[in-house]
């Protein structure tokens, strides 16, 4: 999915006063890093339709896991699958933004790079579905068998 280009950063005119960066302790830098990370998560959730779809699907998977009383290990597998799809989707977003930034006009290699990144997300989503089938399948089968 193509992103709208970010507005260009205006150049700092020569001689303009620069605000000196305040020296930060290592602890302050560490804490500030969390702010940047949450900002990136927020950006992805606000701008990426597929990530919002994955949020809904991941939430449904967690609810189904609770209803079916899956084990702790099975929940760990589901959380790994959900997180893997999110990470792949976010890397896909990074790739698309970097490509759009480096080549604003159409470029066939840019298309290939975006397609490959999207393919990686698709492959990860397929893996998540397979994990879901292995985890939920026996529980759903047992539920159906005991109720019908």
> At a CB cut-off of 8 Å and minimum separation 6, what does 137 contact?
none
Which has the closest alpha carbon to 140: 35, 91, 68? 68
Which has the closest alpha carbon to 99: 27, 6, 25? 6
Catalytic residue (one of 21, 26, 74, 89): 89
Q: How far apart (Å, rounded) are the C-alpha atoms in residues 132 and 81? A: 8
Q: How far apart (Å, rounded) are the C-alpha atoms in residues 140 and 34? A: 39
Active site residue 89: yes
Active site (catalytic) residues: 89
């Amino acid at each position: 999915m193509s992103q709208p280009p970010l507005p260009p950063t205006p150049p700092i005119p020569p001689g303009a006063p620069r605000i000196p960066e305040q020296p930060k302790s290592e602890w302050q830098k560490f804490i500030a890093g969390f702010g940047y990370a949450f900002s990136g998560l927020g950006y992805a959730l606000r701008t990426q339709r597929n990530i919002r779809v994955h949020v809904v699907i991941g939430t449904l998977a967690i609810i189904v896991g609770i209803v079916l009383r899956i084990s702790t290990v099975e929940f760990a597998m589901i959380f790994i699958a959900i997180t893997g799809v999110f990470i792949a989707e976010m890397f896909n977003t990074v790739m698309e933004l970097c490509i759009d930034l480096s080549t604003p006009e159409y470029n066939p290699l840019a298309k290939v790079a975006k397609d490959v990144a999207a393919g990686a997300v698709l492959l990860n989503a397929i893996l998540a579905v397979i994990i879901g089938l292995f985890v939920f399948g026996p529980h759903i089968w047992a539920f159906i068998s005991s109720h019908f």
